[in-house]
Amino acid sequence: MCGICCVVTLCSQHAIHDFFNKDILCRLRRRGPDSSQQLIKTVSDLSYECLFSGHVLHLRGLVTPQPLEDANNNIFLWNGEIFNGVHVGDLENDTEVVFHHLALCSSEADILSLFSSLRGPWSFIYYQASRHSLWFGRDYFGRRSLLWQFSNEVDSAFCLTSVSVYSESGNQWQEVPASGIFKIDLKACATTKSLSLTLFPWKYSCTEKTAEEIFLNVLDQVSKDLPNHIHLVMNESKLCLRAPVIPLNKMISEALGECPGTNTSNIIHAISVETLQGFLAEEPRKKLVCQFIDVLNEAVKRRVLSLFRDEGQKTREVPSMSNRKAHVAVLFSGGIDSMVIAALADKHVPLEEPIDLLNVAFMIKEQAKQKGTAKKHTSQEVKLDLLCPQESCQDLDAKTGAHLSCFDVPDRITGRAGLKELEAINPSRTWNFVEINVTLEELKKMRQQCINHLIYPLDTVLDDSIGCALWFASRGEGFISNQGELKPYKSPAKVVLTGIGADEQLAGYSRHRVCFKKYGLEGLNKELEVDLDRISSRNLGRDDRIIGDHGKEARFPFLDEDVVSFLNSLPISEKADLTLPRGIGEKLILRLAAKEFGLTASTILPKRAVQFGSRIAKLESNSEKASDTCSRLKLFSVDEL
């Protein structure tokens, strides 16, 4: 994980520092606390100047300060991880490896071939000195943040950065679209005093669309959000990047596709863990589930082993208890996604090393009304509506860690239950269940101080709820149980595993059921395709900025390229069955996988979004829609809070 930034001016009348915000520098340093440095490149005869700022979080090989510069004056900034595609040795640093390969590229096609081969999350900025070219972009899914801002037409300056600061006026920041890689010819732009971007889009290796169709579609999408004086053009050679995953399989059998929602012959009304066992009795299905386990297991393995550990912690076979520092944490609700990730991480994290389970809860503000007409819970549901009177939380002392029922939100309850399952699977592992309790006062304070800047340029109620929940969870400050008592604890883990991507691929959201009932499997397929296409702009840039603010790196096993390709290869009927009830039909293949390797009650928990499970959505307003612009993300003075 790194914070990277580049500022370019095309007019000698302006100093480069006029466009470099010191607040942005501060936020970049939070992302990369292990090394910070800057480099200014001035090309006086062409009247352009570039500032490169690199801030490194050390995770692999030797600490490698950025920006890197070679003997040919090429300059490289890298925020990513290489898990496959290009070899990175155990003691090597991936920044140096990628820069070395870039130096060997002699053409645009070579550069595109290199980035097409990379597997893992990345964003980068590369200055190619011999051609006065600036290359930049994000990986196919946009798992690493990169923002851009363009000055007005007169100033002729622009900036690229991992994170920005909220601004109500002036030139607005936007996320760089994860549509491909961009190139700027600085020599041509300095001559014309106008900015032109050349795009090299992603393209499936086997697709019916021509290069022209792909270009027209992507150019239209990207151009509509650019200022009028910024020109976006296709590259003259019509070169594309090869997408790292295969297209979505949209095949539908006639029997399944005719009457959506009416095939009730296999609907199960009272589901249980044994229900899943019945599915696994079908040999073809069980074989498919085992294949899924293998590919997901490998994805988790890459993400928990590709990081620096002290000597003696590199193998599972030496159970030394001398060093109990956690290197890996899981954003943990006890739901199916986080349970599967934690259970698979346990297979590869050295046995003597704890795994931190980060569980966030926002203080409940109202007492549940216990009425005779209260809804009845079915046998498979956990009672989740345990609220407490506001007055019992008035004297909350965050330093004591005393158990207070006002933090018994749904995710806390299922999280504790999930902890017991994991302890049963591996009682030898130290599982640090970190109870992270957030009061309304602290939420308001930290949102105003920093979280609003990290969510920006996104601005909806949903962004606020998820962003705040992720920020407090990934900070990892809370309490763990020590011999029956809660003790203060702060997770030292630099790697944070998250389950994002499972719902988007396996029909996990409630809107997927609505779509299925209205439009059948064909409509559901289209919805899932859109979900994965827009995950970069809806989720991943924001989540990277949020988690990276703590000097930690988000890693996404469900968005591993091999995992996505495997799931894309399957027809929807093999991944989910939305004729079945909640808690089993959505993400069916994942539930079967969890049952196969030993999980129990968590395998049939219904999907619950973090904003509801953590109760942040209930804390400040009950009348908002998720898509509304969130007024709380605007800048206010402390007195107004």
What is the residue type of 375?
A: K
Q: Is 520 left (phi over 0), alpha (psi -120 to 50) or beta?
A: left
For CA atoms 503, 507, 513, 514, the dihedral sign is positive
105 is catalytic: no
Close Cβ partners of 228 (under 8 Å, ≥ 6 residues apart): none
In order, the DSSP letters of 332-387 are: --SSHHHHHHHHHHHTTS-TTS-EEEEEEEEPP-S-----TTPPPPPTTS------
212 exposure class (CB count in 10 Å sphere: 0-12, 13-18, 19+): exposed
The DSSP symbol for 84 reads B
Among residues 2, 50, 240, 450, the one annotated as catalytic is: 2
Q: Is-cis flag, bond preceding 457, omega within 30?
A: yes
Strand order in the sheet with 355-362: 485-490, 477-482, 431-438, 355-362, 328-331, 495-497, 553-555
User: Is the CB of residue 363 less than 8 Å from the CB of residue 440?
Assistant: yes
User: Is the CB of residue 222 less than 8 Å from the CB of residue 177?
Assistant: yes
Q: In angstroms, rounded to a whole number, what is the distance separating the alpha carbons of residues 179 and 139?
A: 9
Q: Give the helix ranges, DSSP H, for 372-459.
A: 410-425, 440-446, 452-455
Q: Are strands 122-128 and 35-43 parallel, antiparallel or unpaired?
A: unpaired
Tokens of 216: 């027209």
Tokens of 171: 């030139």
Place of tokens 């292990």: 34
Q: In angstroms, rounded to a whole number, what is the distance separating the alpha carbons of residues 48 and 187?
A: 8
Q: Name the residues annotated as catalytic.
A: 2
